[in-house]
Amino acid sequence: MIVLKGAEVSARIKAEVQQMLEGLGGRIPRLAIVRVGERPDDLSYERGAMKKMEAFGLEAKSYGFPETISDARFKEEFRKINEDPEVTGILLLKPLPKHICEKDIENMIDPKKDLDGISPANIAKVFAGDPSGFAPCTAEAVVEVLKANEIPIAGKRAVIVGRSMVVGKPLAMLLIKENATVTICHTKTVDLPGTCRNGEILVAAAGRAKMLNEEYVSPGAVVIDVGINVDNDGKLCGDVDFGSIETQAAMATPVPGGVGTVTTAVLARHLVQAAG
Ligand code: NAP
């Protein structure tokens, strides 16, 4: 089984970003990372995104707010960031605490600064196959991994486990745009292993540690693991039981070191696009 490392894909995107930066005449785009509370996974994603922006020669600033901030106050603070001409693009770490209306923020965010495709305008573009908006970075990262490794998508059966608005659904649209035949699975899917085995490309985005084993993978399949979980020993792991699929799959992305690093590279590319 070939291990599809995210670092190689990220390096290609970095070269692309540097070329795009040259066209900005010395202007350095700035990312605003907006976080409410201090959830460990948010902090870890924030650290990764800050490091990546720096490595790509871009600026990033973190805007952290206490978990107790009121809905009205947060909206006021968010409005300021959204309207700040110094802010080129925004990454909102989600989910927000329950007392803050996430929908309102999704409606407020300027689609031109909405680097992770959460606004209705950008979502509509993804579903319409219109590339002029921003798709959610993780969904785009999956397509990027396939393309960078010259894995054919057109005409292939792609099976996605997960139907969230950040990964499963937008990814289905991006893969359809690439002419794949797409099946989306979820918790009510009957015979999940059998349905997954039908996939020539299998994408795991369920958020269940090591759930997909050899029973779910057909011989020669390409397996892309989007999951970021912690296993029983407290170690970072994906949705795929990596060891058990080694003799079945042709190729697979590891966790860590797979899709995650490509996601932040795509975020960087979106940031430079937003500045253009
Ligand atoms: P989510 O909103 O919790 O959605 C999970 C989806 O998986 C749901 O549609 C759910 O089905 C389905 N699912 C859960 N358990 C299942 C099961 N046992 N059988 C079949 N389907 C099942 O999660 P998300 O935000 O999409 O994230 C998914 C994973 O990707 C998480 O591990 C997350 O940490 C990771 N992630 C990674 C990146 C990255 O950059 N690599 C970025 C974002 C997220 P129902 O709809 O029926 O509930």
Q: Which residue has the tokens 């995107």?
A: 13
Instruction: Tell which atom from ligand 1 comes closest to the C-alpha of 41.
Output: 34
pTM greater than 0.75 (yes/no): yes
| pLDDT tens sequence across 46-96 | 999 999 999 999 999 999 999 999 999 999 999 999 999 999 999 999 999
Question: What was the pLDDT predicted at 127?
Answer: 97
Instruction: Tell which atom from ligand 1 comes closest to the C-alpha of 45.
Output: 40
CA of 128 to the centre of ligand 1 (A): 23
Confidence of residue 167 (pLDDT cuts 50, 70, 90): very high
Helix (H) or strand (E) holding 17, with range, is helix 6-22
Q: Which residues line ligand 1 (CB under 6 A)?
A: 138, 161-164, 166-168, 185-189, 192, 205-208, 211, 226-229, 259-260, 263
Question: What was the pLDDT predicted at 134?
Answer: 98
| pLDDT tens sequence across 92-129 | 999 999 999 999 999 999 999 999 999 999 999 999 99
| pLDDT tens sequence across 13-42 | 999 999 999 999 999 999 999 999 999 999
Question: What was the pLDDT predicted at 103?
Answer: 97
Mean pLDDT value across the chain:
97
Instruction: Tell which atom from ligand 1 comes closest to the C-alpha of 141.
Output: 40
CA of 206 to the centre of ligand 1 (A): 3
Show Cβ contacts of residue 234 under 8 Å, excluding neighbours closer than 6 positions.
none
Question: What was the pLDDT predicted at 217?
Answer: 98
Question: What was the pLDDT predicted at 7?
Answer: 98
For residues 212 and 196, the answer to whether their CB atoms sit within 8 Å is yes
CA of 109 to the centre of ligand 1 (A): 24
| pLDDT tens sequence across 146-166 | 999 999 999 999 999 999 999
Question: What was the pLDDT predicted at 141?
Answer: 98
Question: What was the pLDDT predicted at 98?
Answer: 97
CA of 225 to the centre of ligand 1 (A): 11
Q: How far is CA 258 from CA 49, 114, 223, in A?
A: 15, 24, 11
| pLDDT tens sequence across 196-218 | 999 999 999 999 999 999 999 99
Question: What was the pLDDT predicted at 172?
Answer: 98
Question: What was the pLDDT predicted at 201?
Answer: 98
Question: What was the pLDDT predicted at 161?
Answer: 98
Is cis: bond before 136, omega within 30 of 0?
no
Q: How far is CA 15 from CA 1, 8, 21, in A?
A: 28, 11, 10
Give me the phi and psi of 204, to 5 degrees please: -100, 115
Pocket test for ligand 1, best of 144, 165, 166 (most atoms within 8 A of CB): 166
CA of 139 to the centre of ligand 1 (A): 12
Pocket test for ligand 1, best of 52, 118, 226 (most atoms within 8 A of CB): 226
Pocket test for ligand 1, best of 187, 212, 241, 267 (most atoms within 8 A of CB): 187
Question: What was the pLDDT predicted at 215?
Answer: 98
Residue nearest to atom 11 of ligand 1 (CA): 186
For residues 89 and 271, the answer to whether their CB atoms sit within 8 Å is yes
CA of 200 to the centre of ligand 1 (A): 20
Question: What was the pLDDT predicted at 239?
Answer: 98
For residues 205 and 168, the answer to whether their CB atoms sit within 8 Å is yes
Instruction: Tell which atom from ligand 1 comes closest to the C-alpha of 168.
Output: 26
Instruction: Tell which atom from ligand 1 comes closest to the C-alpha of 238.
Output: 32
Q: Which residues pair with 33 in a beta bridge?
A: 62, 91
